[in-house]
Chain A
Amino acid sequence: MKNLFKQVKQILTYQGTPFREGFILEENAFDNREAAASGKESQSQGKDGKEKSAEPGRRRARPLRKARSEGSRETGDADTGKVSTILDRNRETIEKLYGLPVNKDIIVRDFTIGTDPPVKSFLVYIDGMISRTDLNFLLQNLMLEAGEISRHIASAPSILHRLLPGSQARMLDSFEKIVEFVNYGDTALFIQGSPQALVIETKGWEHRPVERPNSEQTIYGPQEAFIENLRANTALVRKIIRSEKLYTEMLSVGKRYYSDVAVMYMSDLANPELVKEVKRRISSINVDYVTDTGMLEQFIEDSPYNLNPQTHYTERPDRVAAFLAEGKVAILLSGSPFALVVPTTMYAQLHTGEETYLRWQYGTFLRYIRTISFYLALLLPGLYLAAVLYHQEMLPTDLLLAIAGNRERVPFPTVVEILLMEFSFELVREAGLRIPGIIGSTIGIVGALLLGQAAVQANLASPVVIILVAVTGLASFSIPSYSLAFAVRTYRFFYIIMGSILGFYGITIVLFIQIIFTTSLKSFGVPYLSPTGPRTYAGGDVVSRLPIFMQRRRPDYINPQDNTRAPGNPRGWVRDKGEGGGDGKQQ
């Protein structure tokens, strides 16, 4: 009877989930760590961890790593952080720093240098980050060739000078530095009795080869794109600009683990104030990590709340080189296949390198097409809505009747129709990008065709709107800068909304606001709409592209150290009198 009562009670009352997993990710295991300051914190942490969870390995990753690395620095500091002459002590320090033998990435290779007498030593490197052939060659030299070369060398300097075949090697005595290099694929050599360790460059991790550009394709011009390797990227730029005036300054960002940042500029062109500002902004970044130039961009741009992109994001070394030759500054980040160029203007983002490579008539043609498509992408649906809803008298009668006739069976208001199709288009675009490669492209085309055709057949949208949305979509694809295309697409929705609420008046309002926002925007001190707003020397390469020999000056708005691109007549074989117009006569 009592048992039955208990069972009924169990059914009726709330029991809570039985504790089966044996693991709970505690919220505040490390929260009071900072308050506890120094000293005993690591002990208490260990205790907490043991008490609260059975598996220490599944703790929250971030605080754990932070705690460990801080702890290890402390032990390094406790041992003065210097390389000891006693090999075993060095080995202990390395084991402590890297958490051996738990951490399986780190390889410590003990061996004896084949001098007379033999010297005990060991190598430290990270598996997978080094080149095996380099390492084997190094070991071969140290173990076999050493004896033949000398009888009384056992110290780091002498080995560095006589035995190491590697191209880059340096002598270091601080563990902090050594670990930094080992983390980046170098090998450290510790020698018995030597107060320094040798760090030999053996970087050799897997990376992509240089490939064709994916997001900035052109027909003419170089077909190389940046890759994830910083040094390869700087070399790609330097390969184009073969000048000793091309400076590459290395900075680092990221407090938890840092990434190298290369700031490239022409020392005799770039305005020193600009270079200083770029370096100031980068070095002031205080964040745990930055892995891509896209993240870096967001830390250094002028107005994060403006829609327009304020740095030029490019994957083409030839474009970077062209900008550097104008006096701009390029920022490359290790591990990112894109470079940032600052300062940038809206016009620069509407250009591709191709217009310069093509003859000027064709280049100008391309530019005009792009200018038109920029306005189409921005305004077309908004203008359509405004005209059809408020200003029907503006459309030719036959066009209006065609629009009206096609809309007769569509049950939605025009705004809904447009928004529906715009949304579908964005959907096709986004899905086409995310769908795994092989089916992706087919889905994109099939989706677009099917959706449009079916929407018309089902009387969900009128054919005019389908055409309109498709043209708008194509136009937005023709904007070369992916970021700027995003800005345009976002602005477009404002135009759609205001066009449908207030007609042309609403469109004027948004245009006005957008112009004000864009004009007041600056990218690294350069007005975003220069050289047209404010008006400065344009140089014949803004909306139309004049013949290349007429472009004799660099853009004025960058304020480069040297304004002149071509001091005299660029085409030496032609007598200067007949050509070049005003520029020619001045000289």
Chain B
Amino acid sequence: MKAVKILSVLIIILSLQGCWGSRETDEMAYVLAMGLDKGPDGNITVTFQIANPKVIAGPPGGGGGGAGREKPLITVSTIAPLPIAAFNIMNVERSRQISLLHTNAFIISEDLAREGLAPYLNPLNRFRETRGTAFVYISRGKASDFMEKNRPELEATPAKQYELISRSFRLHALTSVVQFHKFYAGTKSRDRQPVAPLVDINNKGLERGASTPGALGDYLAGDMPSNKGESQFLGTAVFRMDKMVGTLTGNETRYLNMLTGEMHFSFLVLPHHLKENSVVGVSLLQARKPVIKVSTEGERPIINIELFVEPALVGTPSGTSYENNVHMGVIEKEISRALSEGCRQVVARSQEEFRSDIFGFGRYARKNFLTVQQWRGYDWLGKYPGAEVEIKVNVRIRRTGLMLKTAPNV
């Protein structure tokens, strides 16, 4: 009898739990990527890329002919005042409950980003299903176009593509990576303004756009010479609060990543210091995180940056034997000069053109204040454009690749 009592209490308690949200996978439609475009009358055009698992998983157990003709992704757009509303209203078209649980990327068009993203980021951040770890991309063209044309050939789903792209950033440092929660926090931050990677589809083919000769990757997404129709993840969109204020090319993004300490590996091509029309290729590693000191005592903040870069020789087509001590010293100085010049230019752009602290110097400045109120009163964002910036780049070549010396060309 006692057991019956306990059991009945247990059953009642268990059946009162609010955990009846069981959903079978075949009742759900998973949105893999969400695109935001400017729409008519202050609305936005929201594009969803919905996975068709039947096709992605392949025909099970020999059954199902003709599955090959079905598309693995369904791309649909609608117009709504808010992204969550759009997602909800899409249920009238689909038999399945549309879910944002697996939305891995938010692609926002440049037009919309330049007008300010606050009205759209807030509901997305509030919504329970949104993944904080989703990636944010800024599309130079229309987001819906990009999603329609972006067809990763090596991956089964774009979800995996976005994830891998975010990792391949470590290989070149020519773009940046930002996750939704960090991006959102950045738009509210007083220390570090957000950046987001630029994406676009190449529609120029192998034609060479405007770019500095010699610098590697000095393009914006979509401009790099390549096959037509390839999607490119290159360059950075710079924000001031929630508004996009400009772009950095891939080359500039390298210096941005160097200054924030996020550069893992990158290639750099320098003009030869003696021979005309000859270049030297080096790969860059950051030996240590940059040491940054910010002084807020004077009228203008003074920012001291010390970078530690360890290049390795990659290509020396000139035949100069950089392996010997004399030449190595020369090229170390040369690299140091080029890097500090590059960094200085990017910092100058951020101060003068963007007026936005995308490097996070504010986090170092913040240390000088005891209370939040004092820090807010200092108005870092207002003072940053006038800051004095000193950059010192320590360069030490430790590796010369697999060659210990170069015999002169005869």
B-binding residues in A (CB < 8 A): 388-390, 392-393, 397-398, 400-410, 413-414, 453, 456-457, 459, 462-463, 500-503, 505-506, 509
Contact = CB atoms under 8 A, between A and B. Distances in A.
B53 interface: yes
Interface string B18-44: 010111111010101000000000000
Contacts of B32: 397
B88 to A, nearest CB: 18
B68 to A, nearest CB: 14
Contacts of A410: 26
B58 A405 contact: yes
B55 interface: yes
B51 interface: yes
A414 B25 CA distance: 9
Given A392-B102, A409-B64, A463-B60, A401 B53 contact: yes
B57 interface: yes
Interface stretch (B141-149, B155-163, B259-267): B155-163
Nearest to A498: B14
B25 A503 contact: no
Contacts of A509: 14
Contact of A400 (B19, B21, B102, B131): B102
Contacts of A500: 22
Interface in B301-335: none
Which of B17, B22, B54, B55 has most chain A Cβ within 10 Å?
B22
B376 to A, nearest CB: 36
A459 B53 contact: no
Contacts of B63: 409, 457, 459
B216 interface: no
B19 A503 contact: yes
B19 to A, nearest CB: 5
Contacts of B22: 389-390, 500-501, 503
B62 A457 contact: yes
Nearest to A405: B57
B30 A401 contact: yes
Interface size on B, as a range, is 20 to 34
User: 5 tightest A-B contacts by CB?
Assistant: A405-B57, A405-B53, A404-B25, A404-B53, A456-B61
B14 A393 contact: no
Contacts of A413: 24
Given A392-B28, A409-B63, A402 B101 contact: no
A504 to B, nearest CB: 9
B131 to A, nearest CB: 7
B14 A502 contact: yes
B76 interface: no
Given A393-B101, A401-B53, A405-B57, 7 more contacts: A390-B22, A390-B23, A392-B101, A398-B160, A402-B53, A407-B25, A501-B22
Interface in B98-112: 99, 101-102, 104
A569 B58 CA distance: 63
A408 B26 contact: yes
Nearest to A392: B101
Interface in B276-296: none
B51 A401 contact: yes
A397 B57 contact: no
A456 to B, nearest CB: 4
15 contacts: A392-B101, A392-B102, A393-B131, A397-B160, A401-B30, A401-B57, A401-B157, A402-B57, A405-B55, A405-B58, A407-B26, A502-B17, A503-B22, A505-B17, A506-B14
A400 B30 contact: yes
B56 interface: yes
Contacts of B156: 398, 401
Contacts of B131: 393
Nearest to A391: B101
B161 to A, nearest CB: 11
Contacts of B61: 453, 456-457, 459, 463
A472 to B, nearest CB: 20
Contact of B60 (A388, A400, A406, A506): A406
Contacts of A501: 14, 22
Contacts of B26: 404, 407-408, 410
Contacts of A393: 101-102, 129, 131
A420 to B, nearest CB: 15
Which of A403, A408, A456, A505 has most chain B Cβ within 10 Å?
A408
